[in-house]
A = this chain, B = another copy of it.
Amino acid sequence: MGLLGAIEAGGTKFVCGIGTKDGEVVERVSFPTTTPEETMAQVVSFFEGKDIEAIGVGSFGPIDPIKESDTYGYITTTPKPHWSQYNIVGHMKSKFDVPIGFDTDVNGAALGEHLWGAGQGLDSCIYITVGTGIGAGAVVNGKMLHGLSHPEMGHIVVRRHPEDSYKGTCPYHADCLEGLAAGPAISGRSGLQGVELKVDHPAWEMEAYYLAQALMNYILILSPQKIIMGGGVMKQKQLFPLIQRELRHLLNGYVQHASINKDIEQYIVSPQLGDNAGLCGALALARLALEEV
């Protein structure tokens, strides 16, 4: 039957699933992320006895996704207790004799959307998640973006909004994009959770101000054919037109392309795979691992 296993390894919870090579999820479970011993025992137990051909792991980061590296397959310098320098691929390999795919959750999600979602038929797309943190992955020339390591697009430098005196939440950079625009910054600044803020609250204008700057830089540096924005904060659908308007204002006609001039609503979109974007991403990593055997 040819089923694949998928692990969406998040800092708060792990989602595990079984799916087809066409990206259809047929079973899914989730459990909180505690210690590697406890959480990985639940993961292994879920997959045991299931006849799967490969497993994909889309993980929170930073990770080492470079196959030639000594620490390939590790979650590396995460501040999350117990998970720093954890060899997640090694552990899965010791339990299951199948190909294991491994990348960041967001590179996986970009690949999943490229195969089965909003990025189908394109050469490139980026997937951005805006939630507890901000992360992004990319497909370029049909392949996931790697180099020195994987992208860390959430931590780029942005220009501060003139009315924003919030110091920022990032432990490394204070007021980088993530520090000023991820969920904790929205609630830290307003004293309210994002879901409690009215759709016309000025916080959303400020959020769009920061996210549009990020998109401007992603476009000028990567020139993606599609921008897919997911994560908890992007469930606030009023953000899309605000971001699109602010992005056009920032670019000021510099990039002349119909995707921006005319069809921006089809250029900056929600994940077509919806809440399965992350799990389908891991499924896509499993499929890729099988193809590369």
Contact A148 B223 (CB under 8 A): yes
Contact B148 A220 (CB under 8 A): no
Which of B147, B172, B216, B220 is the one whose CB lies under 8 Å from A151?
B220
Which of B76, B213, B222 is the one whose CB lies under 8 Å from A147?
B222
Report if A199 contacts B (CB, 8 A): no
When chains A and B are docked, how far (Å) is the Cα of A146 from the Cα of B151? 17
For residue A62, which residues in chain B have a CB less than 8 angstroms away from its CB?
A: 256
Contact A218 B221 (CB under 8 A): yes
Stretch at the interface among A29-37, A236-244, A246-254, A275-283: A246-254
The listed residue with most B CB atoms (<10 A of its CB), out of A140, A219, A221, is: A221
When chains A and B are docked, how far (Å) is the Cα of A80 from the Cα of B156? 32
Contact A173 B224 (CB under 8 A): no
Contact B257 A145 (CB under 8 A): no
Contact A140 B147 (CB under 8 A): yes
The listed residue with most B CB atoms (<10 A of its CB), out of A141, A173, A220, A250, is: A220
Given contacts A140-B141, A141-B141, contact A155 B222 (CB under 8 A): no
- Binary interface encoding of chain A residues 42-86 relative to chain B, with 1 for a CB under 8 A from any of its CBs, else 0: 000000000000000000001000000000000011000000000
Which of B155, B216, B259 is the one whose CB lies under 8 Å from A157?
B216
Given contacts A140-B141, A216-B157, contact A222 B255 (CB under 8 A): no
Q: How far is the CB of A255 from chain B (nearest CB, A)?
A: 7
- Binary interface encoding of chain A residues 205-217 relative to chain B, with 1 for a CB under 8 A from any of its CBs, else 0: 0000000010011
Query: Closest 3 CB pairs between A and B?
Result: A147-B223, A124-B147, A172-B254
Known interface pairs A77-B256, A148-B224, A148-B225; 17 further A-B residue pairs with C-beta atoms within 8 A, sorted by A's residue number: A123-B147, A124-B146, A140-B141, A141-B141, A141-B145, A148-B219, A148-B255, A148-B257, A152-B255, A153-B221, A154-B220, A156-B220, A158-B159, A172-B251, A173-B254, A217-B217, A221-B222
